[in-house]
Structure 1
Amino acid sequence: MVADSDSRIAWHRAQLKKNRAALRQIETARFTVGESADSKAFEGAKRQLSELKEKIRESEQVVAQYDRQTRRPLGTDLRSLSSVSWRDWTGNGQR
């Protein structure tokens, strides 16, 4: 992966990696150990899972919006290039 010049985007990419790993670990532990019969522990785990999923969703949206604004189209044939609005794209990522 190419390093990001925008520190905010780099932070969101790092958070995505960290939160996905934490979510994977929680879900794996839930299936290998089993769920607790304690209702407070169950609710706490459920809340933690939903918070992680929400954080992942927010970071994915920020990164996707950045990618849409800064990435050039990958296709180089005339048909794919003719459908691109070049005034919406800038080479330095600044709008």
Structure 2
Amino acid sequence: MVADSDSRVAWHRAQLKKNRAALKQIETARFTVGESADAKAIERTRRQVSELQLKIRESEQIIGQHDKQVRRPLATDLRSLSNVAWRNWTGNGPR
């Protein structure tokens, strides 16, 4: 993975990885162990899952926005390059 020059984006990439792992752990535990009969425990788990999904969505949006601004197109054929709005892309990244 390429290192990010923007520390905010690097932080969101790390948080995204951490939050996805936590969500996977909760989902795995739910199917491996089963859900508790305690209503409070069920609500707490649902709240944790929704908070993690919200954080994941937020980080994905920030990373996606950064990638749109900074990364150049990877395809090199004439058709895909002709469809790119080059006026929106700068080689130096956001200023």
TM-score (norm 2): 0.96
Percent identity between matched residues is 78
RMSD between superposed Cα atoms in Å: 0.9
Identify unmatched segments of 5+ residues in structure 2.
none
Partner of 1:93: 93
Q: Secondary structure at the match of 2:79?
A: helix
Counterpart residue type for residue 59 of structure 1: S
Return the offset for 1:75: 1.4
In 2, distance between residues paired with 1:56 and 1:74?
25
Please name the residue that 1:11 is paired with: 11
Structure 1: stretches of 5+ with no match in the other structure = none
Q: CA deviation at 1:21?
A: 0.5
Deviation at 1:38, TM superposition (A): 0.5
For residue 49 of structure 1, give the secondary structure of its aligned residue in structure 2.
helix
CA distances 1:18-70 after superposition (whole Å, capped 9, x unpaired): 00000011111111111010101100000000000110010001001111111
Q: Secondary structure at the match of 1:92?
A: coil
Mapped partners of 2:54, 2:94: distance in 1 = 28
Instruction: Give 1:94 shift.
Output: 1.4
1:54 has 2:59 as partner: no
Written as runs of structure 1 = structure 2, the 5 A alignment for 1:62-73 is 62-73=62-73
Q: Runs in 1 of length 4+ with deviation above 2 angstroms? A: none
State the SS of the aligned residue for 1:64.
helix
